[in-house]
Chains A and B, each alone.
Chain A
Amino acid sequence: MTEYSRAEVCAAAIADAFKDDGEIFASPMGMLPMLGVRLAKLTSNPDLVISDGESLYLGGVPPLFAKADVVEGWIPFRRVFDVVAYGKRHVMMGATQVDRHGNQNISAIGDFAQPKRQLLGSRGAPGNTVNNRTSYWVPRHSPKVFVEQVDIVSGVGPARAKAAGPGASKYNDIHRIVSNLGVFDVRGDGDTVRLLSVHPGVSVDDVVAATGFALAVDADVPVTREPTESELMIIRNVLDPKNLRDREVPPVDAGATQ
């Protein structure tokens, strides 16, 4: 059996979240999402449109954080807003909190009027989630992140979108939540977060224990697929030769529990 790291499992799982998207703008926020998207573009979905995260659509697939490459378009911030509304976009954002109904918070922790901890602000999460496909990446799965109810709703889950009417729900598409422990969607009963797979070496009980709400769990939960030889070759030799991925998801000792 090939050796692979937890970060590499996550990269392949993130790539899988983009494999059926067709020719759309893939917008990863953060390192592992960027790695996963570029991996998808080099394997399962070469049609993806990717950017340098600043203002250029890239014609090639450079390593993480490399800038110099063939340019195939211009995507300054104002045109990002245009593409959000146009809809041909899949963004993978971070989440300081995500709740049972797939709402996400990156705004603040505590009471909005005077928060215990001010975070970024809602950024584009409210607009993303009612306009284009949105996924979340959580590098450290814990009950502090996966909470019953987020303190502030930045990203809108399907139940709240439906409650706000068709203007909010018709393009609401919360696709995947990928964490360092497993892969999830929001298709549990009542539009709740559901466990789709556990990463190799992680048990369903581990995930349930690290989740602060009642997770929808089917009778048979598969194991997240292992990265293939060619994916590992691409990750290690092409996209992330400096092994930045291990800084975001540290390697897990064989036999160690989460």
Chain B
Amino acid sequence: MTIDEVVAQLSDGMTIGIGGWGPRRKPMALVRAILRSDLKDLTIVSWGGADVGLLARAGKIRKLVYAFVSLDSIPLEPNFQKARQEGTIPEIVELDEGMFQTGLYAAAQRLPFLPMRAGLGSDVLVNNAWIKTVASPYADENGDFEELTAVPALKLDVALVHLNRADAHGNATYLGPDPYFDDLFVQAADKAFVSVEQIVDTAGLTVDTAVQRLLISRMMVDGVVETPNGAHFTTCTPDYERDEKFQKAYAAAAGGSDEDWAAFSARFLDGDESSYQAAVAAFAEEQSK
């Protein structure tokens, strides 16, 4: 598939889960393609980084489900902050980050909810009054029937994830230190699209890589697209690390004036993926001088 063919599968109002974690291994080429599209009123489900910031700044998000939005080395995401402080995202669901995983598990297992402690006593349950608790049917050691959070399934229409390698059928491996939750995203979704640094033949997936790194099976995947440097400017270890200089420039523009942001957008975001990558290469050369 191509990036545009993936985006053509999306429609207004969809619930889209975005894999990775904060500023790590995000399907940024697909996110950038959504920015360029006419898509609107999206529900975005993400342990958020610049994916959330960019989509929020572009006014694509009607509802946001998150536990945090952070760039790590820059703790607060300026575009996300701006959107929240100006109230431009109509519906907000802030969860504990473990609840988020449990919600994906529930959706992946086709359950309405799963119980856990996280959320109890916190304002997560106050600000999301629709999230209920459930009493354990079993008495604990003190004879109490514990009241637990009934974490609702985070059912997705579409999951977008980025991994290091896949074959053309959708079997995909991560080569970095952490699988994150990309297998849960694809199983929680009706349709899943995987972008990768490189498409290889099936035998190539395990030729020098432990089989345990095969995180995603083709039966969970509806399309694969090769997007070299497609997670930029987030990490895609070991293919590349986070582009800290670029991230700094992004955050400065996002936190600056409207003109600063317009200039950043014009330089990097308004063209297609190949012009983005060319602009990034030019930026890197500039920075190295």
Contacts and interface: CB of A to CB of B under 8 A. Distances in A.
Contact count band on B = 35 or more
Interface string B69-93: 1100001100011001111000010
B144 A166 contact: yes
Contacts of B99: 126-127
A154 B119 CA distance: 9
A207 B178 CA distance: 42
Contact of B67 (A108, A118, A121): A121
Contacts of B144: 165-166
Contact of A127 (B21, B76, B117): B117
Query: DSSP class of A's interface residues: helix, strand, loop or mixed?
Result: loop
Interface string B44-80: 0000100000000000000000111110000110001
Given A117-B85, A122-B67, A127-B99, A154 B122 contact: yes
Contacts, number: 149
Contact of B94 (A56, A77, A84, A121): A121
Nearest to B148: A167
B6 interface: no
B76 A120 contact: yes
Contacts of A85: 98, 116-117
Contact of B81 (A56, A118, A123, A171): A118
B95 A122 contact: yes
B246 interface: no
B146 interface: yes
Interface stretch (A8-16, A156-164, A184-192, A239-247): A156-164
A74 B35 CA distance: 36
Contact of B117 (A116, A131, A153): A131
Contact of B85 (A81, A116, A130): A116
Contacts of A164: 120-121, 147
Interface in A37-85: 54-56, 76-78, 81, 84-85
B2 interface: no
A168 B124 CA distance: 13
A119 B95 contact: no
A168 B120 CA distance: 6
B146 A130 contact: no
B118 interface: yes
Given A107-B123, A116-B85, A167-B146, A55 B177 contact: yes
**Most chain B Cβ neighbours within 10 Å, of A55, A121, A124:** A121
Interface in B218-274: none
A54 B144 CA distance: 37
Contact of B101 (A78, A113, A120, A152): A78
A171 B67 CA distance: 22
Nearest to A118: B84
B177 A156 contact: no
A134 B69 CA distance: 22
Which residue, B118, B119, B147, has most C-beta atoms of chain A within 10 A?
B118
A153 B128 CA distance: 13
Nearest to B183: A78
Given A81-B97, A114-B86, 12 more contacts: A54-B177, A54-B178, A113-B87, A114-B84, A122-B124, A123-B68, A127-B97, A129-B122, A131-B117, A131-B118, A156-B120, A168-B117
18 contacts: A54-B177, A76-B179, A78-B181, A85-B116, A114-B87, A115-B85, A118-B76, A118-B81, A121-B48, A122-B97, A122-B123, A124-B118, A127-B97, A127-B99, A130-B120, A153-B126, A154-B122, A165-B146
